[in-house]
Amino acid sequence: MQGREILIGVTGGVAAYKTADLVSQLVQSGARVSVVMTPAAKQFIGATTFEALTGRPVYESTFAPQEHHVGEHIGLARRAELYVIAPASADFLHKLAQGAADDLVSLLALTTTCPVLLAPAMNNEMWIKPAVQRNVAQVQSDGRHTIGPRDGWLSCGAVGPGRMAEPAEILAECSKLLGKVKSK
């Protein structure tokens, strides 16, 4: 992971707390990490957490560049060697399957040329719906990689599929995918 550029997209879901752990593990392994958040993600975790972990600003707006004046969706996409979206909510999977780009996280999914790894997380009843499964199949068919979700205890008190893969498991998949990508 040493010196590799990883972009992390955070969508709205309780599992966003696990993304902070993933970001910490990536940084500790030597990766350079940039975090992008949807408006819904900010309802579950604060940007300050990710700024403290990465030493970089958190990107939230398509129209207010902080670093890349050609647009964050261009600059961040060009810099990234891997784009990980964790958690990937049902809403986000729908956007990605349809090619929607109404926030910076989804816009980056369209502009990146690096591998994209999705870590779905949602209520078990949402996960099993045909629409969600169609969207997952579509994003996989489009060449995106997925990890999970896993069976387990969910924040709503249910037990079943929908739990985001553990950060260590996602980290291992990141390492595997980066092994296939020439360093920039």
Query: Is 183 within a domain?
Result: no
Residue 164, domain member (yes or no): yes
pTM over 0.75: yes
Q: What backbone torsions phi and psi does residue 19 show, to the nearest 5 degrees?
A: -65, -35
Question: pLDDT tens, position by position, for the chain (184 residues)?
Answer: 899 999 999 999 999 999 999 999 999 999 999 999 999 999 999 999 999 999 999 998 766 666 656 667 788 999 999 999 999 999 999 999 999 999 999 999 999 999 999 999 999 999 999 999 999 999 999 999 999 999 898 888 888 899 999 999 999 999 999 998 777 6
Backbone angles phi, psi at 22, to 5 degrees: -60, -45
Q: For the domain that residue 31 is a member of, what is the CATH number?
A: 3.40.50.1950
Within a domain: residue 99?
yes
Q: Please, which residues bridge with residue 33 across strands? A: 6
The catalytic residue positions are: 156
* Cα–Cα dist 184/165, whole Å: 28
Residue with structure tokens 């924040």? Answer: 155
* Domain span including residue 41: 5-178
Q: 34: which 2 tokens?
A: 């940039």
State how far the Cα of 122 lies from the Cα of 124, in Å rounded to an integer. 6
Total domain count for the chain? Answer: 1
